Structure 1
Amino acid sequence: MTDLLTLSGVHTHIGRYHILHGVDFAIPEGQTTMLLGRNGAGKTTTLRTIMGLWPASAGSITLAGQRIEKIATPEIARLGVGYVPESMAVFSDLTVKENLVLAARDGAPDTARLEWIFGFFPALKKFWLSRAGALSGGQKQMLSIARAIVEPRQLLLIDEPTKGLAPAIIGALIDCFAELKRRGATILLVEQNFHAAREIGDAVLVMDNGAIVHRGGMADLANDIPLQERLLGLSLEAHQ
């Protein structure tokens, strides 16, 4: 299996704080890899460093054979990387339609792909001409994800998409991610919801103190409660 993304010895400093301490991992093409860890372990910093929002101070990041740790965020996005931050990246003063038009490569989303997205997130079609700022938290999360997938991406970086959402919306997100994977997308996903992690993940990476401390199959970790407690401080069931 070919690795799409590789991090080797990546360090990240934010001001005087040393957040990532030699992060090493590889993400296989066409798989969904869960990035788990306690709060403050460095998960969000890892995604932001890959995306170029916080520059790596040492080490290399390779995407499909190309080094990207020194290039700007817009160029990384043009290479086919979609990013969904925990903060729900939507333009509140623009409509749902305008948000998706801005995210489309040529300013005109593909109609068939939009209908595919609406199948998972029908609220976006219902509120097509409404301001994004007037949407509920769950609907804003739908829009944030829709912005990232309105064009096919070779890699999706998604940070805690189910946080604070109702079970019905979480179910729609799980279905969407499963279909993205079926279509060949590669996903690196930070998630605290055990049900979502177990349903979505193929592989798992666990971080602690800015480094990877475990890597393996998601199913193996899901079935090993003592390992969960050792790595995460509690069982994954407690994260629901």
Structure 2
Amino acid sequence: MTEPLLQLTDVHTHIGPYHILQGVTCDIPTGSLTMLLGRNGAGKTTTLRTIMGLWRASSGKIRFDGRDITTCSTPSIAQAGIAYVPESMAIFTDLTVRENIVLAARSGPVDSARLDWMLGLFPALKRFWNLPAGNLSGGQKQMLAIARAIAEPRRLLLVDEPTKGLAPVMVRSMIEAFRALKAAGETILLVEQNFYAASALGDNVLVMDDGRIVHSGAMSDLVADQVLQQRLLGLSLDAHQ
């Protein structure tokens, strides 16, 4: 079997006196979109931030593309090819859309073919190209945050709740954009609370509870099992249609 692109083994993370991750073990296969689901406070965001080195793992091991990155700095993890889109989006609202993209491409100007591809994913960004990013709607800001993450080729995208607070029409646009990213062969680990979006996108699923992975498998199997949905997440897909 092919070695996973990302592998967490018994990862623990403490934030101050709080023991947030309590032995997270999971694999992220290359070329897949893996959903990370769980109730509020389960440890999903902490998992992403620990992978990026923004919070340091207390113990355990994180391997990326065969390399141990557990103790690496965040800049070095980013340079290895991991991009992170936080829930806050972290765009520069006073800068134009174009300037946000330029700043994200640290190795030089964005290749014109890649820029055309990005703007094809998110057409709204082209319309607002020379306007301050602060003028964008919430959904458009989320699109810009993702576009910044892929301004340069990346090996892995970590995305935290991209559809949170978006209107249904924007959720559908986001789903289509992620489908296109999947079709392009991107490897994505995506935290999502919208189970409808998760079911539409996920190849694989990890479910967290109380700082641990309590379920892993094919997303299609979870979608087909309402009893399992209710037990793991306290919801069912029918309630989110």
Query: Which consecutive unaligned segments of at least 5 residues does structure 1 have?
Result: none
Q: Quote the sequence identity (%).
A: 66
CA–CA separation in structure 2 for the residues paired with 1:41 and 1:237: 23
Q: Does 1:203 align with 2:204?
A: yes
The 5 Å alignment of 1:93-132 reads 93-132=94-133
Residue of structure 2 equivalent to 1:155? 156
- Post-superposition Cα deviations, 1:108-138, rounded to whole Å, max 9, x if no partner, equal 1111111111112111111111111221111
How far 1:236 moved relative to its partner? 3.5
SS at match of 1:3: coil
CA contact (8 A) 1:90 1:132 kept: yes
SS at match of 1:48: helix
CA–CA separation in structure 2 for the residues paired with 1:26 and 1:167: 31
CA contact (8 A) 1:35 1:188 kept: yes
How far 1:239 moved relative to its partner? 5.0
- Post-superposition Cα deviations, 1:81-119, rounded to whole Å, max 9, x if no partner, equal 111111112011111111100111323111111111111
Q: Given the two structures, how large is their TM-score scaled by the length of structure 1?
A: 0.96
- Post-superposition Cα deviations, 1:55-89, rounded to whole Å, max 9, x if no partner, equal 10100000000011101111111111111111112
SS at match of 1:192: coil
Residue of structure 1 equivalent to 2:140? 139
Q: Does 1:88 align with 2:83?
A: no
CA–CA separation in structure 2 for the residues paired with 1:51 and 1:96: 25
Q: Does 1:46 align with 2:47?
A: yes
Greater Cα offset, 35-44 or 127-136: 127-136
CA contact (8 A) 1:198 1:218 kept: yes
Q: Residue 230 of structure 2 aligns to which amino acid in structure 1? A: E
CA–CA separation in structure 2 for the residues paired with 1:21 and 1:236: 28
CA contact (8 A) 2:121 2:180 kept: no
CA contact (8 A) 2:83 2:149 kept: yes
Q: Please report the RMSD computed on the Cα atoms of aligned residues, expressed in angstroms.
A: 1.2
CA–CA separation in structure 2 for the residues paired with 1:215 and 1:204: 6
CA–CA separation in structure 2 for the residues paired with 1:107 and 1:167: 36
CA contact (8 A) 1:34 1:197 kept: yes
* Runs of 4+ in structure 1 over 4 Å off: none
CA–CA separation in structure 1 for the residues paired with 2:101 and 2:235: 39
- Post-superposition Cα deviations, 1:173-223, rounded to whole Å, max 9, x if no partner, equal 222212222222111001111221111100100000000000111000001
SS at match of 2:115: helix
Query: Which consecutive unaligned segments of at least 5 residues does structure 2 have?
Result: none
How far 1:171 moved relative to its partner? 2.0
Residue of structure 2 equivalent to 1:74? 75
SS at match of 1:214: strand
CA–CA separation in structure 1 for the residues paired with 2:88 and 2:32: 24
How far 1:31 moved relative to its partner? 0.6
Q: Given the two structures, how large is their TM-score scaled by the length of structure 2?
A: 0.96
- Post-superposition Cα deviations, 1:18-53, rounded to whole Å, max 9, x if no partner, equal 100000001111111100000000000000000111
